[in-house]
Amino acid sequence: MGNRRLPALSTILAALVASGLLIFLVAPVGELVVRGGSEGIRRLGSDAELRASLLLTGGAATVATLVGVFLGTPLAYLLARRRFPGRAVLAALLDLPLVIPHPVAGIALLLLLGRDSAVGQALLLVGLRVVGTPLGIVCAMLFVSAPLYVSGAREAFARVDVRYEAVARTLGDGAGRVFRRITLPLAQRGLLASAVIMWARAVSEFGAIVILTYNPKTVGVLSYDRFTTYGLGEAIPVAAVLVLIALVPLALLRALRGSRELHAGGME
């Protein structure tokens, strides 16, 4: 009898502890959306600066995600399928932007891409200016969010059974054809989920962007600007809109994963 009650008691205690953390994580965001969500949506019709910042944020995040997917997919496949010297070091370097403060990431990007740097001067020679332009926003978003895509894509490729690829090779398919016909389709859900997470993270970036490109303003920078210029009341609607935008793709992703897990568990 005691053995039957022990797991139940453990479950209740775990649920109480988890509820405390859940409330701490959800309550501030819920308060923000409740206080400013409707006003933020209403202002979309009257606040041209807010609309422009939304378009800029969404467009830059989309471009950064496309670049991250294009460049990160081969890298993720390499990390998932090949063993080579320095692989662990390379993986650690890829994760580094996730653990450093994002203003520090912005300073690092400024040193690399600023007009006084060799790279920045080379880009200026071909007509590309990074600091203070939408290109700078894309670079900042790409730097802080691409590691999330590479990490997720690496796991997606690692979950693909190598026996399917081996069978395709025995049938005469080359490496490229095996990747297109077998590996990529089997990993595509994980790749899509990783791309969605990268996009959502890019949308919410502030620290690196504000160092590299204060103007034109993304939604995160605009909420900070409204807060410092006009106070909390003007910043709340802008911040609430940003939360709602970031929440939509994450909710869709969780719904997709939940449906897949139910089907995988035979609970449909």
Quote the pLDDT of residue 256: 66
Helix (H, G, I), strand (E, B) or coil at 16: helix
Quote the pLDDT of residue 267: 38
* Dist CA 105 CA 102 (whole Å): 5
Quote the pLDDT of residue 268: 33
* Dist CA 222 CA 54 (whole Å): 10
Is residue 68 a contact partner of residue 201, using CB atoms and an 8 Å limit? no
Q: Could you tell me where the DSSP H helices lie in 45-101?
A: 48-81, 87-99
DSSP letters, 85-135, are TTHHHHHHHHHHHHHS-HHHHHHHHHHHHSTTSHHHHHHHHTT---TTSHH
pLDDT along the chain (268 residues), means of 10: 60 80 88 90 90 94 96 94 87 89 93 92 92 95 95 94 86 84 90 91 92 93 94 92 83 69 46
CB atoms within 10 A of CB 161: 11
- CA quadruple 258, 263, 264, 265: dihedral sign: positive
What are the angstrom distances between the C-alpha of 233 and each of 9, 35, 39, 52, 263?
Answer: 45, 10, 11, 20, 45
Quote the pLDDT of residue 137: 96
Tokens of 240: 């609430």
Quote the pLDDT of residue 1: 47
Is residue 236 a contact partner of residue 35, using CB atoms and an 8 Å limit? yes
Quote the pLDDT of residue 37: 87
Quote the pLDDT of residue 260: 59
Quote the pLDDT of residue 20: 85
Residue 225 one-letter amino acid: D
Which residues in the chain belong to E strands, given as ranges?
A: none
Helix (H, G, I), strand (E, B) or coil at 133: coil
User: Both ends of the chain: CA-CA distance in Å?
Assistant: 34
What pTM was computed for the model?
0.85
Quote the pLDDT of residue 257: 66
* Dist CA 147 CA 208 (whole Å): 15
**Residue that has been written with the tokens 């200016």 in this structure:** 129
